[in-house]
């Protein structure tokens, strides 16, 4: 049965729901815009109350800097006052502080004294490309040089033609850090490559995105029942026993990434003119598996990780899988409309509204216990705008590309 069957008009088409999403997006912009701005460069991460963490000497991670540039490039395209200054501020910090002026590439993190972690990671470079691409669409004058710079680094240092994906990490002097390949960095690079293709029109970006998706989703996820494997050796052989950083490389599988890939695969299918017939069915399967295996059927919310027996491993509930679930469901409702996708679009937003929105202090709770109580074992507070903002805005625009492209092409901002 279609999504206009007994469920009635899809929520994404209803004026009230759209207004609700706009209000929540604005609440997020309001919460982060001035609180995160660090006059000394870069951006503060925030505690649960919305106060800067360690304001005297905060850590600036490259992904956090780049995500703020991306989000406020979206704000600029929407016409939000103050957004241009934040994009300028972030672009300057990426170029002058994160970038290695002598050896090329971008360092992972800094504080007021200088470099904290000088490593050069694929995950961080993916977000630099996303930031620069979004800034270009928003008209930033320095975007072209950053796109050219990070593209050169990705192609000459990270890209591995043998497997059609990127290496994970190098030391500051470009000595390889051996033994590991990860899907997470490649997933975010897929998002960034699509944004770069939309911003520049250069098809090479899209070709690389298809290559990564083919490796990680069609082949590796397809071999594992559309449970997306996270961790591999240098030959992209699955490492089920890998133990890593709980925030960036948790062991087992991560249903939130299955949801994220479901949206990205449909976006890639649309940008590629529908040439890859496997993509819609893969997206459908990824979403269905995330619901069947990752959703807590008793209490609600997505478990953070599962073991390889499909049992919950880390049972806490994070905000970003909910956000990615909403975005994935929105894309699926557009491309593969049926009552299952519409029902889960609504159910995920019900869970967000009831448990994750901090109505008293603003922002979203980034971490809940298994019992849906705010907690802070992985995340110190409210450090991220990116996932939640995109969840609110993705359903408002055509499911054919990045938000920046949708905002520009819709003519309604």
Query: pLDDT tens for residues 323-343?
Result: 999 999 999 999 999 999 999
**Per-residue confidence (pLDDT) for residue 403, from 0 to 100:** 96
Domain presence at residue 259: yes
Domain presence at residue 5: no
Domain presence at residue 3: no
| Domain CATH code at residue 26 | 1.50.10.10
63 catalytic residue (yes or no): no
> Which tokens in the block code for residue 122?
């694929």
Domain count, the chain: 1
What is the value of pTM for the model shown? 0.97
Mean pLDDT of 397-404: 96
| pLDDT class of 411 with cuts at 50, 70, 90 | confident
**Per-residue confidence (pLDDT) for residue 2, from 0 to 100:** 42
> Which tokens in the block code for residue 35?
């609180």
Residue 158 C-alpha from the chain's centroid: 20
Beta strand 109-111 with 114-117 is antiparallel
Report the C-alpha gap between 122 and 381 in whole angstroms. Answer: 25
Beta strand 159-160 with 381-382 is unpaired
Mean pLDDT of 63-80: 98
For 176-211, the pLDDT digits (tens) are 999 999 999 999 999 999 999 999 999 999 999 999
Q: Is the pLDDT of residue 4 over 60?
A: no
Domain presence at residue 237: yes
Residue with tokens 């460069």: 41
257 catalytic residue (yes or no): yes
| pLDDT class of 5 with cuts at 50, 70, 90 | low
Domain presence at residue 4: no
Q: Is the pLDDT of residue 32 over 60?
A: yes
Domain presence at residue 6: no
What is the average pLDDT value for the chain, to the nearest integer? 96
Collapse the DSSP code of 257 into the 3-class scheme (helix H, G, I; strand E, B; otherwise coil) and give the result: helix
**Per-residue confidence (pLDDT) for residue 246, from 0 to 100:** 79
Domain presence at residue 392: yes
For 376-391, the pLDDT digits (tens) are 999 989 988 999 999 9
Mean pLDDT of 318-327: 98
Half-sphere exposure of 193 (CA within 13 A, CB side): 30
Domain presence at residue 1: no
> Which tokens in the block code for residue 378?
């992985």
Query: In 3D, which of 392, 391, 388, 393 has the Cα closest to residue 407?
Result: 393
**Per-residue confidence (pLDDT) for residue 70, from 0 to 100:** 98
Q: Is the pLDDT of residue 34 over 70?
A: yes
**Per-residue confidence (pLDDT) for residue 248, from 0 to 100:** 81
Catalytic, out of 17, 269, 365, 387: 387
Catalytic, out of 63, 140, 257, 269: 257
Q: Residue 314 sits in which domain range?
A: 11-410
For 106-139, the pLDDT digits (tens) are 999 999 999 999 999 999 999 999 999 999 999 9
Q: Which residues contact 253 (CB under 8 A, 6 or more apart)?
A: 227, 228, 229, 230, 305, 306, 307, 308
């Amino acid at each position: 049965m279609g999504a206009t069957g007994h469920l009635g008009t899809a929520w994404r088409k209803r004026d009230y729901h759209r207004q609700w999403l706009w209000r929540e997006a604005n609440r997020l912009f309001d919460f982060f815009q001035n609180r995160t701005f660090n006059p000394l460069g870069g951006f503060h991460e925030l505690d649960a109350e919305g106060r800067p963490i360690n304001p005297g000497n905060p850590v600036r991670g490259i992904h956090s800097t780049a995500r703020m540039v991306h989000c406020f490039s979206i704000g600029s395209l929407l016409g939000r006052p103050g957004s241009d200054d934040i994009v300028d501020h972030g672009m300057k910090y990426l170029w002058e502080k994160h970038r290695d002026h002598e050896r090329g590439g971008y360092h992972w993190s800094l504080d007021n004294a200088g470099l904290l972690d000088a490593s050069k990671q694929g995950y961080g470079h993916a977000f630099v490309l996303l930031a620069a691409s979004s800034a270009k669409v928003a008209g930033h004058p320095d975007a072209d040089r950053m796109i050219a710079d990070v593209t050169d680094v990705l192609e000459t240092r990270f890209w591995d033609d043998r497997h059609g994906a990127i290496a994970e990490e190098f030391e500051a002097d470009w000595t390889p850090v051996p033994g590991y390949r990860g899907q997470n960095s490649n997933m975010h690079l897929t998002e960034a490559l699509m944004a770069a293709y939309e911003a520049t029109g250069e098809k090479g970006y899209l070709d690389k995105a298809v290559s990564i998706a083919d490796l990680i989703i069609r082949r590796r996820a397809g071999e594992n029942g559309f449970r997306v494997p996270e961790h591999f050796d240098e030959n992209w052989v699955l490492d089920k026993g890998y133990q890593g950083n709980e925030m960036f490389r948790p062991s087992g599988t991560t249903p939130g990434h299955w949801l994220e890939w479901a949206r990205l695969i449909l976006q890639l299918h649309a940008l590629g003119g529908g040439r890859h017939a496997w993509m819609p069915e893969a997206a459908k399967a990824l979403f269905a598996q995330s619901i069947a295996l990752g959703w807590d059927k008793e209490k609600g919310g997505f478990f953070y990780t599962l073991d390889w027996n499909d049992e919950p491993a880390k049972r806490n509930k994070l905000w970003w899988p909910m956000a990615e679930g909403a975005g994935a469901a929105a894309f699926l409702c557009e491309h593969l409309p049926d009552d299952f996708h519409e029902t889960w679009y609504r159910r995920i937003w019900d869970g967000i509204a009831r448990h994750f929105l901090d109505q008293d202090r603003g922002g979203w709770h980034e971490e809940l216990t298994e019992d849906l109580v705010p907690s802070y074992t992985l995340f110190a507070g409210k450090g991220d705008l990116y996932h939640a903002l995109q969840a609110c805005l993705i359903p408002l625009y055509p499911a054919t590309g990045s938000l920046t492209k949708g905002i520009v092409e819709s003519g309604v901002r």
